[in-house]
């Protein structure tokens, strides 16, 4: 095996499309990072194959800050149900426990009927783990003329590759990676992007030129998805090895 990078950032999102949290360590299961996107809101009137209420429909959704009241502990294995209890802080500073009252607040705010969904399996758009190289973010920042905060891309793993070229991660599709001492991933496909990468994570202000550039020059993709072949614990600063 050959080390090809270092895990420079580890992030999960307790509620789909809301703000995420940086982690020092996390348990990775076949379904993804434990606690990642375990809550989501469904737009009841949306009958498409993408029924989620997300920042695509209301940009300010990314400004809501959820946190686990008693976060699932990586070393404990399967969490107790109470460890999935979440409190959410609105952009104005109000706090809600996840449940009917918060759902009603969002319905009134967004003007549409919503249904709260919970699943221990991460409700991701495609595959359990998303991966992006910091070199890709730096290169895109230079190309579009904006210092792109990596939080725009809403990844699970941010990696500092030893090869600093843009989109180095694309070359890993079909290959297997060992992250830390336990977790094995197979890189399976590119990550197709949407308007979310054009939203400032602090203000939700849109910069549509970001997605326009990625679409025009890179086929709308930035980063890759991975399937989990072996579960375990990963830690920020873990080595990433090519198997």
Nearest CA to 31 out of 128, 163, 151 is that of 128
Q: Which among 192, 155, 195 has a CA at the least distance from the CA of 58?
A: 195
The Cβ-side half-sphere exposure at 227, using a 13 Å CA radius, reads 7
Nearest alpha carbon to residue 42 among 130, 129, 110? 110
Residue holding tokens 């849109």? Answer: 206
Rg of the chain on CA atoms, in Å: 18
Show pLDDT as tens, one digit a residue, over the chain (243 residues). 999 999 999 999 999 999 999 999 999 999 999 999 999 999 999 989 899 999 999 999 999 999 999 988 888 878 888 899 999 999 999 999 999 999 999 999 999 999 999 999 999 999 999 999 999 999 999 999 999 999 999 999 999 999 999 999 999 999 999 999 999 999 999 999 999 999 999 999 999 999 999 999 999 999 999 999 999 999 999 999 999
Gap between the Cα atoms of 93 and 91, Å rounded = 6
Measured CA angle at 221 (ends 26, 174), to 5 deg: 65
Q: Looking at residue 182, what is its pLDDT? A: 96
Q: What is the pLDDT of residue 232?
A: 97
pLDDT at position 213 is 98
pLDDT of the residue at 95:
98
Give the global pTM: 0.95
pLDDT of residue 79: 87
pLDDT in tens, 87-121: 999 999 999 999 999 999 999 999 999 999 999 99
Cβ proximity of 131 and 156 under 8 Å? yes
> What does the pLDDT read at residue 71?
87
DSSP summary character for residue 10: E
Beta bridge mates, 189:
225
Structural domains present in the chain: 2-242 (2.40.33.20)
Integer CA distances (angstroms), 47 to 11, 42, 180, 193, in order: 30, 10, 41, 22
Q: Residue 124: what pLDDT?
A: 95
């Amino acid at each position: 095996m050959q080390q090809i990078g270092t895990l420079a950032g580890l992030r999960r999102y307790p509620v789909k499309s809301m703000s995420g949290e940086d982690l020092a360590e996390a348990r990775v299961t076949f379904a993804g990072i434990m606690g990642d996107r375990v809550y989501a809101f469904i737009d009841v009137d949306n009958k498409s194959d993408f029924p989620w209420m997300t920042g695509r429909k209301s940009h300010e959704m990314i400004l809501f800050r959820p946190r686990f009241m008693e976060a699932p502990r990586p070393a404990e294995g399967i969490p107790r149900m109470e460890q999935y209890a979440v409190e959410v802080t609105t952009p104005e500073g109000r706090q809600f426990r996840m449940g009917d009252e918060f759902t009603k607040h969002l319905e009134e705010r967004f003007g549409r009927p919503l249904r709260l969904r919970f699943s221990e399996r991460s409700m991701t758009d495609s595959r359990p783990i998303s991966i992006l190289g910091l070199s890709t973010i730096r290169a895109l920042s230079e190309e579009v003329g904006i210092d792109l905060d990596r939080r725009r891309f809403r990844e699970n793993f941010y990696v500092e590759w030893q090869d600093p070229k843009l989109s180095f991660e694309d070359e890993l599709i079909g290959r297997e990676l060992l992250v830390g001492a336990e977790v094995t991933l197979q890189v399976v496909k590119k990550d197709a992007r949407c308007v979310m990468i054009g939203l400032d994570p602090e203000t939700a202000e849109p910069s549509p030129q970001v997605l326009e550039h990625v679409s025009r020059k890179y086929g709308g993709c930035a980063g890759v998805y991975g399937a989990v072949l072996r579960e375990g614990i990963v830690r920020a600063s873990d080595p990433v090895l090519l198997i």
